[in-house]
Each structure stands twice: as structure tokens, then as C-alpha cells.
């Protein structure tokens, strides 16, 4: 009778160990599923943020793609380099009262881009509608100030109004 009771106790202990092992496996699977769901939610939030940034961007704008891509986030973001500065608006407005030479298109509300090109609204060009937003190629000659005529590397000339 003792051996039968010992065998029953041993079988019961084995069953209990098996149940505990199954419970641990189920808990581990649930935790893994929870981590996957959290990762999907984070990725979905980033995708929504990217879609929102693209939807809000004006035509011709540039948007930063850093942080959109699902990689690990950089714990110490680097500051953006300071862009080249155009003269203050007031200076642009005062000088814009000067007239462009005949045959030279005018760029209004212009700004110097980091690559040396200029973006602005063009007028007086046979190739573009008045008020159309354009970006030139890199400026090769001329002073970057309102009232000046600049020349691109390809030979196009623009009056900075």
C-alpha cells in the first residue's frame, strides 16, 4: 500500500510539474504577443505621424525623414546646422523697389537654400507663369542681396527683388 501511495504521490507531483510548465509557456507566449502588439502600435503611430507630416507639408516643402523608419530612436538628437542667411525682409523690401534690368526675370520673396540655389516667386520670365514658385540652380556669380542680379552656373540671370 505504501508503494501504491508513493506512486500516486509521484504521479500527482509529475502532473503538477507538467501543469506549471504549461502555465509558464502560456505566460511567455502571452508576454511575447503583448510585446509584438506594443511594437506594432508604436510603428503604426510613427506611420500616422509621417502621413500627417506629409499631408500638412506645403507643395515643394522638404520634410525630415529622421525618426520615421522604425529603427531605434537616437537618444541624443543632433542640432540641425544653421542655414545660410538671406538679408532681413526689411532690407529685401527696400531694395525690391529697384527695377530689374530689361529681360531679366525677378525673384520675389526669395530665400537662399543650403545648396547655394535660390527659391522664390518668379515674374517677367517667358518660361514661367508670374507668381510661380521656382528654385534656381546654384548661384555662381552675384551678391545674395535684394536689388542684385545673380547668375547661375548654367548662365540664367535673376533679379533678386
The predicted structure's pLDDT at residue 12: 87
pLDDT over threshold 70, residue 96: no
pLDDT in tens, 107-141: 999 999 999 999 999 999 998 999 999 999 999 99
In this predicted structure, what is the pLDDT of residue 123?
A: 93
Cα–Cα–Cα angle for 75, 78, 80, nearest 5°? Answer: 145
For 104: left if phi > 0, alpha if psi spans -120 to 50, otherwise beta; the answer is beta
Residue 50 has pLDDT above 70, yes or no: yes
Q: DSSP readout, 104-144?
A: --EEEEEEE-TTS-EEEEEES-SSS-TTEEEE-S-EEES-S
Residue 93: per-residue pLDDT:
47
Amino acid at each position: 500500500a505504501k508503494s501504491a501511495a508513493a506512486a500516486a504521490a509521484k504521479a500527482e507531483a509529475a502532473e503538477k510539474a507538467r501543469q506549471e510548465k504549461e502555465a509558464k509557456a502560456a505566460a511567455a507566449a502571452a508576454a511575447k504577443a503583448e510585446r509584438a502588439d506594443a511594437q506594432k502600435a508604436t510603428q503604426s503611430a510613427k506611420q500616422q505621424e509621417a502621413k500627417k507630416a506629409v499631408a500638412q507639408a506645403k507643395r515643394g516643402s522638404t520634410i525630415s525623414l529622421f525618426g520615421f523608419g522604425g529603427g531605434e530612436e537616437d537618444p541624443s538628437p543632433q542640432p540641425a546646422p544653421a542655414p545660410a542667411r538671406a538679408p532681413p525682409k526689411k532690407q529685401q523690401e527696400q531694395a525690391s523697389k529697384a527695377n530689374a534690368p530689361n529681360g531679366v526675370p525677378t525673384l520675389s520673396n526669395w530665400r537662399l537654400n543650403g545648396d547655394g540655389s535660390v527659391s522664390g516667386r518668379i515674374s517677367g520670365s517667358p518660361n514661367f507663369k508670374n507668381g510661380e514658385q521656382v528654385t534656381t540652380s546654384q548661384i555662381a556669380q552675384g551678391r545674395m542681396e535684394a536689388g542684385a542680379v545673380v547668375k547661375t552656373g548654367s548662365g540664367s540671370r535673376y533679379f533678386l527683388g
